[in-house]
Amino acid sequence: MTQASLIDGKAFSADLRGRIATHVARLKEEHGITPGLAVVLVGEDPASQVYVRSKGKQTVEAGMASFEHKLPADTSEETLLAKVRELNEDPAVHGILVQLPLPKHLDSDLVINSIDVAKDVDGFHISNVGLLATGQKSLVPCTPLGCIMMLKAELGDLSGKEAVVIGRSNIVGKPMAQLLLAESCTVTIAHSRTADLAGTVRRADIVVAAVGRPQMVPGEWIKPGATVIDVGINRVPKEDGEGHRLVGDVDFASAKEVAGAITPVPGGVGPMTIACLLSNTLTACCRANGIPEPE
């Protein structure tokens, strides 16, 4: 049996970020416009701090303006909503991202839905969700956007393919299913109550695993030749007991013996997520200024 080819998210991400930087340079030169991304971080969650730092760094590397707003963990809802309003009105800001999860006393839905829809580069605003579901122009959540880009690059036309998405979260599973449906796949969304998960996954030409359970999808569930996109990021103890390593929701070692192509963890979906955030910021900036969007 031949081994699956690796879908190299790092290379895809580097390529996408390079193309974005070229567009940004052209926007500056031809229109005098610099796309700006504002990230709001409430509290001191260590993982969120790492993400926000990384987003800021890559934003600047792409030639965009990065605005970081760090607010204390006990920030009131009123103060946070006022910050979002300020950013909504700021013409230098084309994209706004409120880093999730928010501290428990804050209503995430209320905060996200207070972001100007046209600046909602995470694509979580209820109006962007509705626009995506009805096939209209929207801002698409970054992780699923990265997955669909890699799938189209790997497989070309996706129409008619059987796709199974494991996970039905608002940030990954559901928008992923919408994107696959928009590409005319036959889509099944599986979740914790799915009766025969193994049988469901076995039908799939495309498997997207977004569960958050380390290595739960074994190779024996995968249809030979299928394309496997592993969204999961799980920290597990190393075999020697020294520290941790990252694994996906798919058992990579057995799945790569059966699949046609597969994303590794790390180095698959993860690197594409921030690149897609930059892509959405560029898109939002072009739309705000009536400039044709990059392809």
Residues that bind ligand NDP (CB under 6 A): 143, 166-169, 171-173, 190-194, 197, 210-213, 231-234, 269-270, 273
Which one is catalytic: 122, 205, 230, 251?
122
The order of strands in the sheet holding 5-6 is 5-6, 261-262, 227-230, 206-209, 162-166, 186-190
Helix (H) or strand (E) holding 71: strand 65-71
Q: How many CB atoms lie within 10 A of CB 193?
A: 7
Which residue in the shown chain puts its C-beta closest to ligand NDP? 169
Residue closer to ligand NDP by CB (options 27, 278) is 278
C-alpha dihedral, 28 to 279 to 135 to 222, nearest 10°: 160
- The nearest distance, CB 19 to ligand NDP, in angstroms, is 20
Residue 167 is labelled as binding a ligand: yes
> Residue 240: exposed, middle, or buried by beta-carbon count in 10 A (0-12, 13-18, 19+)?
exposed
Q: Which amino acid is at 134?
A: T
Residues 34 and 94: beta-carbon distance below 8 Å: no
Q: Smallest distance from the beta carbon of 7 to ligand NDP, in angstroms?
A: 13
Cα–Cα distance between 93 and 69 in angstroms, integer?
12
Closer Cβ to ligand NDP, 71 or 171, answer by number: 171
33 in a labelled binding site: no
Instruction: Check whether 233 is labelled as a binding-site residue.
Output: yes
Closer to ligand NDP by Cβ: residue 93 or 252: 252
Token pair of 255, please? 């799945």
| Residue with smaller CB distance to ligand NDP, 28 or 213 | 213
Q: Which of 99, 223, 230, 256 is catalytic?
A: 99
- Tokens 């898109």 correspond to 283
Which residues is 68 bridged to in the sheet?
39
The answer to whether 192 is a known ligand-binding residue is: no
205 has catalytic annotation: no
CB of 30 to ligand NDP, least distance (A): 33
Return the structure tokens found at 118: 């046209």
Catalytic annotation present for 70? no
Q: Least CB distance from residue 246 to ligand NDP, whole Å? A: 10
* Residue of 55, 83, 161, 174 marked catalytic: 55
Distance CA(115)–CA(112), nearest Å, equals: 6
Asked if 99 is an active-site residue, the reply is yes
Q: Which is nearer to ligand NDP, 31 or 235 (CB)?
A: 235
> What crossing angle do the helices spanning 142-155 and 173-182 adopt, rounded to 10°?
40
Minimum CB distance to ligand NDP, residue 212 (Å): 3
Residues contributing to the annotated binding site for NADP(+): 167-169, 233
Catalytic center residues: 55, 99, 122
Residues contributing to the annotated binding site: 167-169, 233
